[in-house]
Amino acid sequence: MSDNVRNVIIIGSGCSGLTAALYAARANLKPLVIDGHEPGGQLALTTLVENYPGFPDGIQGPELIDNMRRQAARFGAEYMAGHLVSADLSQRPFKLNFGRQTVLAKTLIIASGASARWLGLPSEKALIGHGVSSCATCDGFFFKDKPIAVIGGGDSAMEEALFLTRFATQVTLIHRREHFRASKIMLDRARQHEKIEFLPNTVVEEVYDVGKQEVTALKLRNVKTNRVWDFPTSAMFLGIGHEPNAKMFAGQLEMDQDGYLKTHDFVFTKVPGVFACGDVQDRRYRQAITAAGSGCAAAMEVEKFLEIG
């Protein structure tokens, strides 16, 4: 192979991608990490992280990501801004098109993550990490003994709401439609919980208060009556799902019905030399620590794959 063929390219610079970069770099594979359209992944949008081992007082999400970047770079990992436009995985070396250039790779680690679905409100975006969240497991603890709102009507919303009852004084499920699309068992569990209340036929039009850098209330509108009112709450959790960043591999790698990459034996895809890790293939846990573990596994498998040839 030509000298300009990379040993390994890692798509994504979140927890899984940077852990893969660290392990690949320490194996002297000189990995190239592509930042992607969300550099740093979900952690880059998080404030205080208290459930990542090794930080008894917690650590800011962006700081944790920066530490990982510098740690991998110390051993030879390289970074490139940009995102993958298309890929040809039909033969090795794999051809990866990044728009302005095409890069060849002997192996590929896909750690492109899954992006949370948001409502698209400017105030919502400004308050991410300050009372607006897409991860109850990550941030629920910060709202102990406070009222919380959850947006959504599917199983994800029910799961978030039920989990948040451990901390909140009250959880209000806000859904734009009259009927919930959640499975009967999940909906029944939520309806039977004394802390959960339902607001159907309702949409969020504004999140207060950007000026205070905290959520104090939501501006709501009933879609049937057009009644508008302010609803006091301390947090808004999005339970409308995630969008796996894997569309560029459609038709080449196996995906489930929602677009998550299918893997076997933890991180293997159906294409030899292509591995997937983190939230792009994990729709169940979606935690920084599980993403890091799968990134480690992917890099170790790359090392074994290249040894065999």
Tens digits of residue pLDDT in 225-262? 999 999 999 999 999 988 999 999 999 999 999 999 99
Write down the pTM of the prediction.
0.83
Active site residue 138: yes
| pLDDT-derived band at 281, boundaries 50, 70, 90 | very high
Burial track 156-167 (b if 16+ CB lie within 10 A, e otherwise): bbbbbbbbbbeb
What integer is the mean pLDDT of 21-36? 97
User: Would you state the pLDDT for residue 42?
Assistant: 82
294 versus 46: which is more confidently predicted? 294
Nearest CA-CA partner of 108 in 32, 15, 14, 37: 32
Given a contact cutoff of 8 angstroms between Cβ atoms, the answer to whether 172 and 150 are in contact is yes
Is 135 a catalytic site residue?
A: yes
Give residue-wise pLDDT tens across range 212-225. 999 999 999 999 99
| pLDDT > 70: percent of the chain | 99
CA distance 246 to 238: 21
Distance, first Cα to last Cα, the chain = 12
List phi, psi (to 5°) of 11. Answer: -95, 110
Is the peptide bond preceding residue 39 cis, with omega within 30 degrees of 0? no
What is the SS3 assignment for 234? coil
Q: Which residues 6+ apart lie within 8 Å of 76 measured at CB? A: 25, 28, 30, 31
**Is 139 a catalytic site residue?**
yes
CA 278 to CA 15: how far, in whole Å? 8
Which own/partner contact pairs does 177-184 have at CB distance under 8 Å and 24+ positions apart? Answer: 177/153, 177/201, 179/153, 180/153, 180/154, 181/153, 181/154, 182/153, 182/154, 182/155, 182/157, 182/158, 183/155
**Which backbone phi and psi does 154 adopt, to 5 degrees?**
-105, -170
Helix (H, G, I), strand (E, B) or coil at 257: coil
Q: Which one is catalytic: 3, 15, 88, 138?
A: 138
Instruction: Pick the catalytic residue from 15, 35, 135, 279.
Output: 135
Of the listed 15, 35, 139, 277, which one is catalytic?
Answer: 139
pLDDT band at 1; cut points 50, 70, 90: very low
